[in-house]
Structure 1
Amino acid sequence: MNPRTTLVTGATQGLGRGIALDLAARGDTVLLHGRDRARLDAVADEVRAAAPDATVRTYLADLSDLDQVRELAAQVRAAEPRLDALVNNAVAGGGSEPLRRELSAQGHELRFAVNHLAPYALTRGLLPLLTASAHTGSAPARVVNVASIGQEALDFDDLMLEQGYEGLRAYCRSKLALIMATFELAAELDGTGVTVNTLHPAHLMDTRGVREYGLTPAVSVEDGVRPTVRLILDPELGSTTGRYFDQFTDTRAHEQAYDADVRRRLMTITDELVRGCVPTD
């Protein structure tokens, strides 16, 4: 069998770096995404040194800019012969200044943009390659969206949290939006050979984002790597789609995620916001 090819966003530190090292150690082709060229090259060198038999390629993009998300998808489609898995891991956390509301390049609330709009647009942009790879391979192509156990109901009267802003609240809302998009995409893609699942990888991993917000890490990054890689590779999960996992446990997300009307409303807004950032063919 040919090595699997997996794109990991946010691969220059924390969970993304750990996932890349794990997959490379298995001899897979790993596509590393980052937004800082120096850090991206450093992690690529580290992965190559740790796993000389793996193939490693890098992609540079700032996912807070939907134009760069579109260009990233186009570059991957043009350069890669196949894509067996996409791990949407890049994240904007609560922030070191949680009361400072930040905006994306397109003027959207930053955490909503990076944690929800960008992975949705990137997945849409890569669907032609994911679907083709599933049809030519012996296993489904998999999309794994890294969410969080921290989830807060969306308020459609203030979706971008212009009132009462706080970074962790914005983060929790954006992660619930990502979970809802996971469920909607999974239903849409059922039968295409592409599965879409989401998970809370581990609670308070030892990452820069956790420390920047002022929280004390409780577990290692490896505790989050193992359940995430399981969703990428486990053959017993080959037909599993549209599910939310708390680490290894298939469980329920926030109750709002199961309101079909709310999901449809969110996706109508999401599709409008990312219009022009995904291929139309």
Structure 2
Amino acid sequence: MTQRTTLVTGATQGMGRALALDLASRGGTVLLHGRDRDRLESVAAEARATTEDVTVRTYLADLSDLDQVRAMAEEIRAAEPHLSGLINNAVAGGGSDPLRRELNRHGHELRFAVNHLAPYALTRGLLPLLTASAPARVINVASIGQEAVDFDDVMLERDYEGLRAYCRSKLALIMATFELAAELDGTGVTVNTLHPAHLMDTEGVRAYGLTPVIGTDEGVRPTVRLLLDPELATTTGRYFDRFTDARAHDQAYDAEARGRLMELTHGLLGHSGP
């Protein structure tokens, strides 16, 4: 356990912060990502205080900016000798003004960029380190809220609504999880995704105007299980509803749709394939 090195994205608040503190308390090395330096260093200090047996390092990046995602992956590859776990937790929720369509600096719809393109690009960028560190596990934090990707309007230029954009981006993340798992089968790197908990007490839930019903710790437990449970060492390409191996939206099992999504994703990220 103490030899593990795990990267958690979006570690400065909500479930990401709770994940950081839980993993830190178990020892080993915990890498924390955030986009606000002060909040990132504050959580890092909390994490270091959980036990003497933990090493904590921080990485700063705005995941809506794909250039910063790539730069962070390069920085981690250069600095870290080992990476046995990656939890893609950072998220753009439905937004406090859900009818206002937002774009990243590359012109991509913001939720699609942060919730799908960024974790895919980060995972792809860290694959050399993950495979060299195998066995390693990638956990993509998705949602039970899923809506089919409309390939005629992927960036939701028509009838935009923030929660719809969120649900489509989370399904895209699940579809990419299945594709990466198949590609990496046999490498010792597993890739799984989950809905951690429903309506946790997070800034994103409150910003959209929803009422939280449970604490973030309820989402931490099933997420950490996917990362650490020895019985799941070879489980890959699965979607979990908390602790249950479940079925995602039907589109996730449509091979043609997954192929279209990956072709689109690689095009948006500026390369032609794996």
Compute the TM-score of the two structures, normalised by the length of structure 2.
0.98
8 Å contact from structure 1 (residues 142, 195) kept in 2: yes
Q: For residue 80 of structure 1, what is the amino acid of its counterpart?
A: E
Q: Residue 108 of structure 1 corresponds to which residue in structure 2?
A: 108
- Is 2:272 the partner of 1:262? no
CA displacement, residues 34-62 of structure 1 (integer Å, 9 cap, x when unaligned):
00001001110111122232100000000
Percent of residue pairs bearing the same amino acid type: 78
Summarize the Cα distance change of 1:2–1:218 in structure 2 as closer, same or farther, 3 Å threshold.
closer
Q: How does 1:69-218 map to 2 (within 5 A)?
A: 69-134=69-134, 140-218=135-213
Instruction: Report the secondary structure of 1:216's partner residue.
Output: coil
Alpha-carbon separation, structure 2, partners of 1:225 and 1:186: 22
- Is 2:21 the partner of 1:21? yes
Alpha-carbon separation, structure 1, partners of 2:2 and 2:89: 24
Q: For residue 215 of structure 1, what is the amino acid of its counterpart?
A: L
8 Å contact from structure 2 (residues 82, 133) kept in 1: yes
Measure how far apart 1:276 and its partner are: 5.6
Summarize the Cα distance change of 1:236–1:221 in structure 2 as closer, same or farther, 3 Å threshold.
same
Q: For residue 132 of structure 1, what is the amino acid of its counterpart?
A: A
Measure how far apart 1:105 and its partner are: 1.5
Q: For residue 236 of structure 1, what is the amino acid of its counterpart?
A: E
Q: How many residues align?
A: 274
Q: Residue 67 of structure 2 corresponds to which residue in structure 1?
A: 67
Alpha-carbon separation, structure 1, partners of 2:61 and 2:109: 18
- Is 2:15 the partner of 1:40? no
Alpha-carbon separation, structure 2, partners of 1:11 and 1:77: 19
Unaligned runs of 5+ in 2: none
Alpha-carbon separation, structure 1, partners of 2:51 and 2:22: 9
Summarize the Cα distance change of 1:277–1:108 in structure 2 as closer, same or farther, 3 Å threshold.
farther
8 Å contact from structure 1 (residues 70, 277) kept in 2: no
Alpha-carbon separation, structure 1, partners of 2:51 and 2:216: 19
Alpha-carbon separation, structure 1, partners of 2:217 and 2:51: 17
Alpha-carbon separation, structure 2, partners of 1:3 and 1:232: 14
8 Å contact from structure 1 (residues 98, 213) kept in 2: yes
Compute the TM-score of the two structures, normalised by the length of structure 1.
0.96
Which stretch shows the higher mean deviation, 45-54 or 167-176? 45-54
Alpha-carbon separation, structure 2, partners of 1:86 and 1:151: 22
Alpha-carbon separation, structure 2, partners of 1:44 and 1:157: 43
Q: How does 1:223-242 map to 2 (within 5 A)?
A: 223-242=218-237
8 Å contact from structure 1 (residues 83, 130) kept in 2: yes
Q: For residue 193 of structure 1, what is the amino acid of its counterpart?
A: G
CA displacement, residues 114-166 of structure 1 (integer Å, 9 cap, x when unaligned):
000000000000000000001xxxxx200000000000011111000000000
Instruction: Report the secondary structure of 1:126's partner residue.
Output: helix
8 Å contact from structure 1 (residues 69, 277) kept in 2: no
Instruction: Report the secondary structure of 1:50's partner residue.
Output: coil
Measure how far apart 1:3 and its partner are: 1.8
Summarize the Cα distance change of 1:277–1:118 in structure 2 as closer, same or farther, 3 Å threshold.
farther
